[in-house]
Amino acid sequence: MAVFDTSKSGGLILKAYESTSLLADPATEVMRMPQTRLAVQELAQRLKIVKGTKIRYAISGQSVLTRFVKLPPLDSDNIDQLVTFEAQQQFPFPLDTVVWDYELLPGAPGEKEVALVAIKSDALDEINSSVVGHGYLTSEIDVAPMALYNAFRVAYADVTEPVLLIDVGAKTSNLLYIEGARFFTRSVPVGGASLTTAIAKEYGISFGEAESQKVSNGIVTLGGGHTSHLDEAVAALGTVIRNALTRLPTEIARTTNHYRSNHGGNAPRRVILAGGGATLPYAKEFLEEKLGLPVEYFNPLRSVAMGKNIDTDTISREAHLLGELVGLALRGTGKSTINIDLVPSSVEALRIAEKRKPWFVASAATVVIGMAAFAFMRNNAASAAEEALSEIKATRDKLAITAVPMENELKNEAKLKATTEAYVASKLNQTFWVSALNEIKTHFASEYVWNIDLEPLHGYDPLKVKPESGQNETNGESLVKEDFATGLGASALVEPRVANSATPTPGPRPNPNLAVAAAPTFNAIRIKGMWRSNAEKQNVVNKLLTSLQSSNSPLFRFSVTNKDATVTEYPKERILLKLQSAKNEEEEYAWPFEIVLPLAREIPSK
């Protein structure tokens, strides 16, 4: 994530930049959106992005369908209809279920070519809610290869020879073939995660351990006795990486043949390397060896000025990662060549509302001016006033023709907004527990501590005390059935009940004197676990809890802001309820602890 400004000459200024990493473990793919949401919030907090800010972001090339289609020579008036027809033929989904856009590209002499990009509507809504769900607004949604192309065109404006820009990502690599204004891209299923998976399989270790080994000790071995001077373990690891990475030159050769035969392009004479997967030592030399072409690292910051607070050391190390960010920033200066904009339904509704505002203002101004003219003419002559009144009525009647449809559109917009907000709230509640479990797993990762029970609490108050003694009062009700594991297919929650309702609802009840209440909410999580002998004794639990408290997690809250703006920290004894110290170490293997984590907001139980 980066913040850009525009100089007086129209150039870009990089004002701030931050980055973070997510583990691309295929086994945790279900966590990808919650992890993305937390990562975006973390970066926005570091960059001090205020709520309400409009942001541009890019979707990875693997998440969209991209097609390059040649168009027959027709008048420009028919382009939209022709492109829509081609889109219906190219995309394997009905157009009303996808969000799509296109850009006309220069083709061979006498030909027109179009780049079509589409994504399923529900997938785009999920991505958008993860990115802007913290109170930001969507300005534009680009696609990573298109943003990279725009950055290349500005940074390497003097390059005319055919170029292959390789963006090595986590799951895929984007291959961009660029010849002047001509452009073609394809995503191939080779990336950093492929190398990590190969390491994990070769050594029989977890994906996380393999990733750590790749980052700390990984290299790409070369031919010609390159491994003779290396440590044996490092050389073996490098050979595994080399064998897995060999798929990339093979995919490049296939794509180059397709580009030349189907799109009339020329083979690249120069290779430029970008992306996080390109940082492995000797990756550049490996590709030079395999492709037989000069390879260099991508520098999209050639024409970008640096702000005074930029860490130049970080930028120099990560410049090849900033291509998409620079391409997105160029959209705001009008210097981008390809302008793809994938618009979710919720964003489209907001844009329509913005466009309507001038019409409402103009209508209101017309009425105000008319009434002022009427008052003035009335003071001069009754006849003139009557004439003015007739004109105003005529104007009013004309406006009334459009008023009813506009009112209907406003009502429809309000319904759509309510539906969208309800859907967003539902999705946030749906992913909350996944995110909470992931947070707990992250901060309680220790070989000396394990959790044995986790249950949500209703009505927990960390500041509640017994009035007669001033001591903390045990509170918070668990609604989890004690025997829920034996009732397959049934809810794990106890049905809450209240006193008899005056208006009985139809249907049988176990007790006619009780009525079903509204589903309660959860506001805390109780964790029971065990710790085993270690150098830090029971302090190992304190240390893990402190790590979670100091992480500023948006999911949990450990203090409350009073009416006078002062902050009251929750007593630690109300968070860490039980922590047994070691006794009979020779006889006991582990000792229990109990923690209650107050939630930042109440979550519905149903």
Could you give the 3-state DSSP secondary structure of residue 38?
helix
DSSP sequence for 390-403:
HHHHHHHHHHHHHH
pLDDT score of 422 more than 80: no
Tokens 């913005």 sit on residue: 354
If you average pLDDT over residues 44-65, what whole number do you get? 91
For the segment 178-226, what is each residue's pLDDT rounded down to a tens digit? 998 889 999 999 999 999 999 999 999 999 999 999 999 999 988 766 6
Pair type for strands 54-59 and 65-71: unpaired
Contact at 8 Å (CB) between 525 and 596? yes
Using CB atoms within 10 Å of the CB of residue 292, give its burial: 0 to 12 exposed, 13 to 18 middle, 19+ buried: exposed
pLDDT (0 to 100) of residue 420: 77
pLDDT (0 to 100) of residue 359: 56
Could you give the 3-state DSSP secondary structure of residue 72?
coil
Tokens 């969208």 sit on residue: 420
Average pLDDT, the chain: 83
Phi, psi of 573 (to 5 degrees): -70, -15
The confidence band for 501, taking pLDDT boundaries of 50, 70 and 90, is very low
For Cα atoms 37, 41, 47, give the angle at the middle one, nearest 5 degrees: 145
The CATH number, out of the four listed (3.30.420.310, 3.30.420.40, 3.40.50.450, 1.10.357.20), of the domain defined by the range 2-341: 3.30.420.40
For Cα atoms 40, 45, 50, give the angle at the middle one, nearest 5 degrees: 100
**HEC string for 114-168:** EEEEEEEHHHHHHHHHHHHCCCCEEEEEEEHHHHHHHHHHHHCCCCCCCEEEEEE
Tokens of 373: 């003219």
Strand order in the sheet with 173-179: 182-188, 173-179, 163-168, 270-274, 295-297
If you average pLDDT over residues 46-71, what whole number do you get? 91
CA nearest to 342, candidates 32, 33, 59, 37: 59
pLDDT (0 to 100) of residue 148: 96
Q: Between 321 and 408, whose confidence is greater? A: 321
pLDDT score of 515 more than 90: no
If you average pLDDT over residues 23-36, what whole number do you get? 81
pLDDT score of 601 more than 70: yes
**HEC string for 281-336:** CCHHHHHHHHHCCCEEECCCCCCEEECCCCCHHHHHHHHHHCHHHHHHHHHCCCCC
Could you give the 3-state DSSP secondary structure of residue 386?
helix
Q: Give the global pTM.
A: 0.59
Q: How many Å from the N-terminal Cα to the C-terminal Cα in the chain?
A: 36
From CA 527, how far away is CA 538, in angstroms rounded?
16
pLDDT (0 to 100) of residue 389: 80
Contact at 8 Å (CB) between 146 and 338? yes
pLDDT (0 to 100) of residue 567: 86
- Per-residue exposure over 575-597, b if at least 16 CB sit within 10 Å of its own CB, e if not: bbeebeeeeeeeeeebbebebbb
Domain edges within the chain:
2-341, 347-426, 444-498+515-604
If you average pLDDT over residues 332-352, what whole number do you get? 84
Tokens of 385: 């006033």
From CA 87, how far away is CA 100, in angstroms rounded?
9
Q: CB count, 10 Å around CB of 402?
A: 11
Q: How many helices (H) and strands (E) does the chain have?
A: 15, 22
For the segment 135-174, what is each residue's pLDDT rounded down to a tens digit? 889 999 999 999 999 999 999 999 989 999 999 999 999 9
CA nearest to 279, candidates 222, 317, 306: 317
DSSP sequence for 80-102:
HHHHHHHHHHHSSS-GGGEEEEE
The confidence band for 354, taking pLDDT boundaries of 50, 70 and 90, is low
For the segment 308-327, what is each residue's pLDDT rounded down to a tens digit? 989 888 898 899 999 999 99
Could you give the 3-state DSSP secondary structure of residue 260?
helix
**HEC string for 464-528:** CECCCCCCECCCCEECECCCHHHCCCCCCECCCEEECCCCCCCCCCCCCCEEECCCCEEEEEEEE
Tokens of 604: 């519905």
